[in-house]
Structure 1
Amino acid sequence: MLYDVSNETMPREELEALQLTRLKAMVEKVYYNVPFYQNRFNEMDIRPEQIRSLDDLKYLPFTEKQDLRNNYPFGLFAVPRDNVVRVHASSGTTGKATVVGYTQRDVNTWAELMARSLMCAGASRRDIVHNAYGYGLFTGGLGMHYGVERLGATILPISGGGTRRQVMLMRDFGSTILCSTPSYALFLYESILAAGMSIEDLKLHTGIFGAEPWSEKMRSEIESKLQIKALDIYGLSEIMGPGVGMECCDAQDGLHIWEDHFLIEIIDPETGEQLPLGESGELVITTITKEAQPLIRYRTRDITRIEAIPCRCGRTHRRISRIQGRSDDMLIIRGVNVFPQQIETILLETQGVAPHYQLILTRQGSLDMLEVKVEVDEKLFSDEIRHLQRIEAKIQKNIKEFLGVTAKVTLSEPQSIERSEGKAKRIIDLRNS
């Protein structure tokens, strides 16, 4: 289903002409209204009028998360502060918070793109949307909320926490779409069973999952257990929030980035050079319609690739593949680059292993050590120790063969790994403790 037919199916030539018009206007706006960008442009000897084609994007400076922190709180605003109707911010656990401002037009655009994303996922006005994303300074909850209301569906603003109550309300209200992190969806499944309910007691048909990386194997796990179609949504607070991109229910093969509002490119994370279509690298996004806080070539640190082959759903907006990991949370273990999602895929290919795991990093002398702690299901845990040891050895062998790193594998009893009602804490890095 299409929410905005004329824009979602716009011919590429028209779409790119629109992008260029909007890019030129945005570059001029930030140059004359944001001292940070004016200084960057002057340092690089660039002027707005030099941007004459989309290919010229590569000459513009990058923006990084640290730039937002360095200009905390309102230094990157391109409009007077009294034109800003809403502010979101990160938690700031690794330094100053990253602050994002929105004009009323920005809020309206966000709601439109979220409604577009919801319909891309197969939602309609008849749906009841169970929104378990957190409300507050985090963009997830309110972003989804406004999109559901714009679409005209019914929103249940449950937020995070109170899992047993969530399960009860999901059943009693007849929720049809679940919005949460993928790890929380699996936690909800366990809570459904613990409450003595079955999946047949629910009316869910679709899940929209984001805010943390997840693998195809976890998708299969969620779809099998909750008996729903599990779809990937992409967004980040610095750019807008959820709804920057959405996987369509028709193809379920990559996330459409709404290119009438965002320019995307893939770069080599080491050199910063643009990479050709189809090659994996770091996703860089330029906002071309944001008023309060436009960003030029924002380095997301997300590793993906752009799919150039048109989608069978009919949308002309290009897709990115599922996020493979992040260039800044990539694990380097004895010189080997490893993404948690790669290990997750290996684990979930092992029969009897549950999708709950932790990667524990320690250091012995000068050597990095990796322990993979993963839960097994009740049936496997009750087996004899020798069988469990064979499973551990098999997982260890697969990690070594596919990723080239040696890991200690520890099978844990069911429910032993702490559950999260937000983003799952997968990595415990004790190397500098």
Structure 2
Amino acid sequence: MRVNKPELGAKQCLIWDQEHETMPRPELEELQLERLQKTVERCYTKVPLYKEKMDALGVKPQDINSLKDLGKLPFTTKNDLRDNYPFKMFAEPLDRIIRMHASSGTTGKPIVVGYTVNDINSWSELMARVYTAAGVTQADIVHNAYGYGLFTGGLGFHYGAERVGAAVVPVSGGLSKRQVMLWQDFGATVLMSTPSYALVLAEQAKEMGVDSMRDLKLRVGFFGAEPWTLEMKREIEEKLNLEAFDIYGLTEMMGPGVSSECPYHDGLHISEDHFLVETVDPDTGESLPLGSLGEMVLTSLTKEAFPVLRYRTRDRTFIDTGICSCGRTTARMKRITGRTDDMLIIRGVNVFPSQIESVILTLKGLEPQYVIVVDRGASYMDDLEVLVECTEKFHAQGDEALEKMQELLGAELHHVLGINARIKVVAPKTLQRSEGKAKRVVDLRELNH
């Protein structure tokens, strides 16, 4: 086990890979350039789409002589990957591919990602970094409630836990009563799931009379795969009595493990020796200085089977290259403020679901279970409706209290968004629960008109 435990700041921070996670930036950038040049060569010679795109721009692999030359390379979009379904983006023949994962494909053909033996090994190492940063060791019991199968979450977390030597309980999603029972019986100390499902499990535990402080040993949780706010993070920590760590990953890059929090919770450390990060203007694609809010763009540096150049993630964030108190020198991405493709334009106003969630979770009496419905009325004006559950205790106060809460939430949302929304506070357990990624937005505008 390659774990280092430096005495830094007010907290003890475990580091899995001291060499790369604390590498001085000049050395890191040298390594990045070396790996970028190899990746560009691989893409140009082995992936027809990249050769076509680079030729159209008049760019050859030998033109990449510094990290500043990254902007010469073409972007990769989700449509590029879908259009080359299933294997045209692979840079290795199928006899070298030992695993495939894929996106959900809910809007068409899925994005298929291949892995070589080396890719799986690198992924396991990166996930070991994630666990170790949160203090997880071989003494822990890891309860994995991420979905197994084509989705990358389950197996990504599974292999990382085994790499650090922890015992894994591969439960996957669903059967919430059994999940809570296993927490108690197996003595799980670590939980991983989507944030929305963590709250479903917390709700289930409460119904079963389980006290998170008395009956459970959970102390750490890893949550991601869907947008979630700081308010929801605090809600999870309070209800499950654990320390919640934000993680980030995407199928197109590898899966979970691109970045994660350390105990200082001051941004997510990007594994920059494996992923080159930049931010761009989401409208023009123009590169922005690090530290500017923009769309995050990622380039893989070590992937063999499925290398990716300048992938437009659609996630809005900014990058901090300052050294963290934990001792890691890798850049940190700040919490995602929204996705450019999740942004709703309502009556000309940009609205992110995370803004609505933040307001909901500031009001005592409301639960973090909500649905945003967008439609067009008879006048063809956009109509925004927010349905949100209240607590059992608040619901017992009667209709007058519910009406006042609806007025209060409507006023708070108007203050934040600048537009009016119809609010409906509903009884507990009224809205549909999700055992994976929660569906928060229902946009009916195109469907009904």
Instruction: Name the TM-score, length of structure 1 as normaliser.
Output: 0.99
- Map of 1:34 onto structure 2: 47
Mapped pair 1:138 → 2:172? no
**Separation (CA, whole Å) in 1 of partners of 2:86 and 2:353:** 32
**Deviation string, structure 1 residues 112-133 (Cα, Å, up to 9, x no partner):** 0001111012211111000000
- Map of 1:358 onto structure 2: 371
**Deviation string, structure 1 residues 19-64 (Cα, Å, up to 9, x no partner):** 0000011101111111110010100000110101001101100001
**Separation (CA, whole Å) in 2 of partners of 1:169 and 1:386:** 41
For the Cα contact (< 8 Å) 2:321–2:330, is it kept in 1? no
**Separation (CA, whole Å) in 2 of partners of 1:111 and 1:198:** 34
**Deviation string, structure 1 residues 274-316 (Cα, Å, up to 9, x no partner):** 1112221111000010000100000111111112332111000
**Separation (CA, whole Å) in 2 of partners of 1:4 and 1:276:** 28
**Separation (CA, whole Å) in 1 of partners of 2:113 and 2:219:** 33
Q: Secondary structure at the match of 2:425?
A: strand
For the Cα contact (< 8 Å) 2:291–2:319, is it kept in 1? yes
- Map of 1:349 onto structure 2: 362
- Map of 2:419 onto structure 1: 405
**Separation (CA, whole Å) in 2 of partners of 1:196 and 1:42:** 64
Q: Secondary structure at the match of 2:81?
A: helix
Offset, 1:91: 2.0
Mapped pair 1:255 → 2:291? no
**Separation (CA, whole Å) in 2 of partners of 1:421 and 1:344:** 19
Q: Give the one of 296, 300, 320 matched to 2:309.
A: 296
RMSD, aligned CA: 0.8
Offset, 1:385: 2.4
Mapped pair 1:164 → 2:177? yes
State the identity as a percent: 55
Q: How does 1:3-402 map to 2 (within 5 A)?
A: 3-199=16-212, 200-249=214-263, 251-364=264-377, 365-402=379-416
**Separation (CA, whole Å) in 1 of partners of 2:42 and 2:209:** 58
Offset, 1:388: 2.0
For the Cα contact (< 8 Å) 1:184–1:421, is it kept in 2? yes
Q: Secondary structure at the match of 1:19?
A: helix
- Map of 1:414 onto structure 2: 428
**Separation (CA, whole Å) in 2 of partners of 1:339 and 1:396:** 16
The residue type equivalent to 2:252 in the other structure is E
For the Cα contact (< 8 Å) 1:121–1:246, is it kept in 2? no
**Separation (CA, whole Å) in 2 of partners of 1:102 and 1:161:** 28
The residue type equivalent to 1:95 in the other structure is G
For the Cα contact (< 8 Å) 2:320–2:333, is it kept in 1? yes
Instruction: Name the TM-score, length of structure 2 as normaliser.
Output: 0.95
Mapped pair 1:432 → 2:439? no
**Deviation string, structure 1 residues 197-245 (Cα, Å, up to 9, x no partner):** 2112010001100010100000111111111101100000110000110
The residue type equivalent to 2:94 in the other structure is R
Gap runs ≥5 in structure 1: none
Offset, 1:68: 0.9
Aligned residues: 432
- Map of 2:11 onto structure 1: none
**Deviation string, structure 1 residues 390-411 (Cα, Å, up to 9, x no partner):** 2111111111111112101110
**Deviation string, structure 1 residues 145-190 (Cα, Å, up to 9, x no partner):** 0000111111000001111111101110000000000010110011
Q: Secondary structure at the match of 2:147?
A: coil
**Separation (CA, whole Å) in 2 of partners of 1:275 and 1:53:** 17
For the Cα contact (< 8 Å) 1:330–1:339, is it kept in 2? yes
**Separation (CA, whole Å) in 2 of partners of 1:36 and 1:429:** 33
The residue type equivalent to 1:30 in the other structure is C
Q: Secondary structure at the match of 1:361?
A: strand
The residue type equivalent to 2:277 in the other structure is I
**Separation (CA, whole Å) in 2 of partners of 1:76 and 1:291:** 11
**Separation (CA, whole Å) in 1 of partners of 2:41 and 2:291:** 31
**Separation (CA, whole Å) in 2 of partners of 1:98 and 1:414:** 37
**Separation (CA, whole Å) in 1 of partners of 2:270 and 2:393:** 42
- Map of 2:10 onto structure 1: none
**Separation (CA, whole Å) in 2 of partners of 1:225 and 1:253:** 22
**Separation (CA, whole Å) in 1 of partners of 2:235 and 2:134:** 19
**Separation (CA, whole Å) in 1 of partners of 2:133 and 2:158:** 16
**Separation (CA, whole Å) in 2 of partners of 1:224 and 1:166:** 19
